[in-house]
Structure 1
């Protein structure tokens, strides 16, 4: 049995930048153990499994090399890109995905792909000692949502040069830790961030759409702006255009396919 699978870089228009995701198109659902084995074999931060439904929408699940996750932006963007590019979905049709985080949609425009995701605002909390030791600094502010810790630190330069203790961060009771600051004066960006997920088998995620479900409402309040341009300052890097619309976050970017193939299992 040959099962289509592609490697797609999301949040970039250039190959080998942004965040790579594997996208596996199934004709019927497979069990979680099989999907986890495929994700481990692909060894990307996320592998997406897409299954068509009778109403023209799709079921979508995401797996890191070690666990299934509830929400993933870049692999959703990659999945929509794959469906349009491969002709499984007309480019003028909305991609609709049923996921563990509810219905997520993607639309294609001349600016790229726009995801419609739920806001995941974080609330202030006391930082656990593992978080402080793992980052090796005293944060300006620490908050948490149902998924991640969100940590504001003093400057963009500190965000970019931070060298976390991943073994210590893996002990933090959350999916991961997002570190952020306001962008440097004169920058085209409103804020910058990095995202660390050692507990899920991914020390640093290159560009994390789901993290911006927390970052967007956080910086909306601080900057008093509904529309923002963000940069995730990983080694690969990625740009995200954001809009806060009520309880939803519109996350826009581009994607490019770097590999098409088939699973032979």
Structure 2
């Protein structure tokens, strides 16, 4: 049986920008092993698989090159736009391992856009020992951290450690050993990214803007170019700390450090899930391949 594999760049209007995602719209006949093998072969941060329907909701699973992940924002945006381009536009729902996600697809002068609303957010303390280990892994001193935006664990479908660095040279200059960071993330049970933020415009300007680096060592990838789930977590983080007065919009720039710049818009309501939006564009023609069944 032939399987059609799509490749989209999300949170951008250029194929060479944003975050690449694999998309398989008809994965009903694929086993988990099949999906894992395809994701490893595509070798993007994540690939989304539409495994069927539950009423009017599309059932979606997400795989990195090394494991299934509970949720992936950029692959959600890519999948929604792929469906919209095939006539399934407007408001759609995805049934995911973290719960039901609502997506709105639209089009403007720059092309198609999709916005997803995350599950409800949560915030937790980042244990002192975990923070110290993270700083050690990134070669950062505690003094590099923001005085006003403290390190936390933020949740909007996945738990993300969030560190904020005020000094742009420290933000641009930190480096890390991908294998050591991957091992620590696995040890801590963090399935997604480590989010490091730098404020670009926090007070006196609207919307608030940040630049993000999201560490995600999987295969050849070290940093994720654009991370929707992390952006949703950042929205919940800012709301819980009282940094924004909802309803508010935040813009996150990401991908400059890996040569794939993109932009994510984050809309923060008074309560409930965070809405993250952006564009997506096909990177290449669909590929049909015969997938040996596991």
TM value normalised by structure 1? 0.89
CA distance in 2, matches of 1:42, 1:131: 29
1:51 Cα deviation after fit:
2.5
Bigger mean CA offset, 6-15 vs 169-178 = 169-178
1:109 Cα deviation after fit:
2.1
Match of 1:251 in 2: 276
Match of 1:122 in 2: 123
CA distance in 1, matches of 2:55, 2:201: 47
CA distance in 2, matches of 1:155, 1:36: 39
Secondary structure at the counterpart of residue 222 of structure 1: coil
Q: Retained in 1: the 8 A contact 2:2–2:290?
A: yes
CA distance in 1, matches of 2:27, 2:12: 28
Secondary structure at the counterpart of residue 44 of structure 2: coil
Matched, 1:190 2:189: no
Bigger mean CA offset, 217-226 vs 147-156 = 217-226
Bigger mean CA offset, 20-29 vs 115-124 = 115-124
1:62 Cα deviation after fit:
0.5
1:157 Cα deviation after fit:
4.2
Deviations 1:228-263 (A, max 9, x none): 112124421211111112121111100101121112
Match of 2:10 in 1: 10
Structure-2 change in CA distance of 1:254 and 1:6 (3 Å) = same
The alignment's C-alpha RMSD in Å is 2.3
Structure-2 change in CA distance of 1:218 and 1:31 (3 Å) = same
Structure 1: segments with no counterpart, 5+ residues: none
CA distance in 2, matches of 1:256, 1:106: 17
Structure-2 change in CA distance of 1:101 and 1:264 (3 Å) = same
Bigger mean CA offset, 137-146 vs 243-252 = 137-146
Q: How does 1:47-196 map to 2 (within 5 A)?
A: 47-53=47-53, 55-87=55-87, 89=88, 91=89, 93-111=90-108, 112-125=113-126, 126-128=128-130, 129-137=132-140, 138=142, 139-140=145-146, 141-145=150-154, 147-172=159-184, 173=188, 174-175=190-191, 176-183=193-200, 190-196=209-215
Secondary structure at the counterpart of residue 287 of structure 2: strand
Match of 2:223 in 1: 204
Structure 2: segments with no counterpart, 5+ residues: none
CA distance in 1, matches of 2:183, 2:170: 22
Match of 2:261 in 1: 237
Q: Retained in 1: the 8 A contact 2:119–2:273?
A: yes
CA distance in 1, matches of 2:124, 2:47: 30
1:223 Cα deviation after fit:
4.0
TM value normalised by structure 2? 0.81
